[in-house]
Each structure stands twice: as structure tokens, then as C-alpha cells.
Amino acid sequence: MGNQSCVKILNEWDIVAARQLGRNVAKELGFGTVDQARITTAISELARNIYLYAGQGQICIEKIYDGGKAGLKIIAADNGPGINDIRQVMEDGFSTSGGLGAGLPGVKRLMDEFDIDSSPGSGTDIIATKWLR
Amino acid sequence: MRIPILKLHDCLLVSIQWELDDQTALQFQEDLLHKIHETSANGVVIDITSIDFIDSFIAKVLGDVISMSKLMGAKVVITGIQPAVAITLIELGIGLEDVLTALDLEKGLEKLQQELGD
Ligand SMILES: Nc1ncnc2c1ncn2[C@@H]1O[C@H](COP(=O)(O)OP(=O)(O)OP(=O)(O)O)[C@@H](O)[C@H]1O
Ligand SMILES: [Mg+2]
């Protein structure tokens, strides 16, 4: 309860709002500056992907607790076109938009856990978690 | 909001003071190229001390504006990259290998002078 907040991604400004939300929650949880930057960057990548490829969707930030551990979970969800070949989009440098193709493989490295669920026609759900050490 | 670009001798100085949104970043790219053209500056220092994260989009805009400036004949030095920014950039897989960097504005200007050979 009260552990999850969401931002709808409809335009570029919502990308800024999503990463600000993430940074605030990361601060509240006590993440250091480097992890705050990792989390902010990961949210920015996922929010921009939603805006660019799905048109709209949502980013939720959740505080999670597991035993004695606290963490931050990013849930990025859209009902866009989905991804055909997940292995391909997880490769560094793969982009269909002339980008660096750094986003998804980058988020995987920036966060501790990364899970992607996507198929053509059914949108994309990505969950990424960072644990407080 | 536009990022101010100052002229100092034959160089341009830019200090990015707030979080970049996409529009501001793209506007800056254009503004800087126009300013280089207008002033015939041959060097640019971009200080990003206040920036606390860089994602792949901002990294691309920065990398592109550096290449574009080079095409026009101006060298760019980036200064003030924070530890957290350096770490996340490398984890993203973005090394900005060919980019000239320095610790702070002052060292950035020194580096430019060396690069421009006087
Ligand atoms: N939410 C999404 N819905 C549909 N396709 C997506 C989604 N997110 C990513 N993709 C696809 O995966 C590819 C790789 O994404 P990734 O974020 O790694 O790189 P990029 O967005 O192309 O470039 P960069 O993020 O470096 O600016 C994209 O080019 C796009 O084709
Ligand atoms: Mg991307």
C-alpha cells in the first residue's frame, strides 16, 4: 500500500516526470548517488522507448522489501507493437530508430534484475530491480 | 528554456545548469552550431558539472554535436563529468572514446589551448 507510484508516458515531458519520480523514491530508500544515477538512467531509457516505439504506456516505481532487503522496482508497460526478436534488441548497438542501441542492454547492466516480456501485438512489459546494499 | 552560450576570446563556453529534456538538448545542438558559425569560434568547452545522469539519448546528442562542431572546424572539450555519470555511461556501453575531456572548466580551457596549439 502506497508502495507504488506511476507516471503515464504520453509525451516527452512525461519522460522527465518518470525519472524525477524514480530519483525521489531512490533517495527516500537511501540509495547513494551512483545508484540514483543508475536508476534514473534506466527509467529514462525505458520511458523513452515507450514514447518512441509504443506511443504511450506507463512507468511504475515500487518500493519492495524482501526479508531484510529493500529495493526499487521499475515496471514499464505498454500496449505498443511489441518486440519480435528479444535477443536481437538486447544486443548492444541494435536500434531500429538510428539510436545508439544502448538502452535495453544498458538497463540490464545498470540494474540488478531485468525481465522482459514482449511479443508482437501484445505490447511490452519490462521489470527491472535494484537492491539496496 | 535555452542553454546560454558565452563567447570568450575565440572560444565558446557552455555550462549546462539543469537537467536536460529532449527538446532543450536538440535546441542546444542547433544553437551551438549557429553560434560557432556566427563567431568563427575554434574551440568549445561544455561544462556538465550540474548534470547528474546521462542517458543514451543525451549521450547521442552530445556525441553528435561534438562531431558536427568538428566538421565545422571547432574542437569541443567536455568538463565536469561526475563519478556517477562516468560509471553509468560506461555501464550503458557508451565510452565517448574520442571525446576530449577535462576535470573542470579551467582545465578544459587549458586543454583547448593545447589542442589549438598556442
Ligand atoms: N517498448 C518497446 N516497444 C517496441 N519495441 C521496442 C520497445 N523498446 C525497445 N524496442 C525496440 O528495441 C530496440 C532496441 O532498444 P534500445 O533502447 O536498446 O535502443 P534504441 O532505443 O534503438 O536506442 P537508444 O536507446 O540507445 O537511444 C529499439 O530500436 C526498438 O526497435
Ligand atoms: Mg532506447
Contact predicate A51/A15, CB 8 Å: yes
Q: Does the model's ipTM exceed the 0.85 cut?
A: yes
pLDDT at B21 over 80: yes
Q: Which domain holds residue B14?
A: 5-115
Q: What is the pLDDT of residues B34-89, one digit of tens each?
A: 999 999 999 999 999 999 999 999 999 999 999 999 999 999 999 999 999 999 99
CA distances from B102 to A33, B7, B12, B81 (A): 21, 19, 16, 8
The SS3 of residue A131 is strand
Q: What is the pLDDT of residues A41-80, one digit of tens each?
A: 999 999 999 999 999 999 999 999 998 899 999 999 999 9
Q: What is the pLDDT of residues A73-107, one digit of tens each?
A: 999 999 999 999 999 999 999 999 999 999 999 99
In chain A, where the domains are located:
4-131
**CA A102 – CA A93 distance, rounded (Å):** 6
- The CATH label, of 3.40.50.620, 3.40.50.460, 3.40.50.720, 3.30.565.10, for the domain at A4-131 is 3.30.565.10
Residue of B nearest to A34 (CA): B84
Near ion ligand 2, which residues have CB within 5 Å? A 49, 103
Cell numbers describing residue B103: 576535470
B113: CA distance to ligand 2 center in Å? 37
pLDDT at A1 over 70: no
Mean local confidence (pLDDT), A13-29 = 97
Q: Say what the pLDDT of residue B19 is.
A: 86
Provide, rounded to the nearest whole percent, the portion of chain A with pLDDT above 90. Answer: 95
Please state the domain count of chain B.
Answer: 1
**d(CA A48, nearest CA chain B) in Å:** 9
Q: Say what the pLDDT of residue A2 is.
A: 63
Q: Which of residues 32-91 of A touch B (CB under 8 A)?
A: 33-34, 36-38, 40-41, 44-45, 48
Q: What is the CATH number of the domain that holds B47?
A: 3.30.750.24
pLDDT at A29 over 60: yes
Residue A6: φ, ψ to 5°:
-130, 155
- Global pTM reads 0.95
Helix axes A33-49, B83-92, angle to 10 degrees: 40
**d(CA B67, nearest CA chain A) in Å:** 15
**CA A93 – CA A100 distance, rounded (Å):** 6
Ligand 1 atom closest to Cα of residue A104 = 18
- Alpha helix positions (H), chain A: 12-29, 33-49, 86-89, 103-110
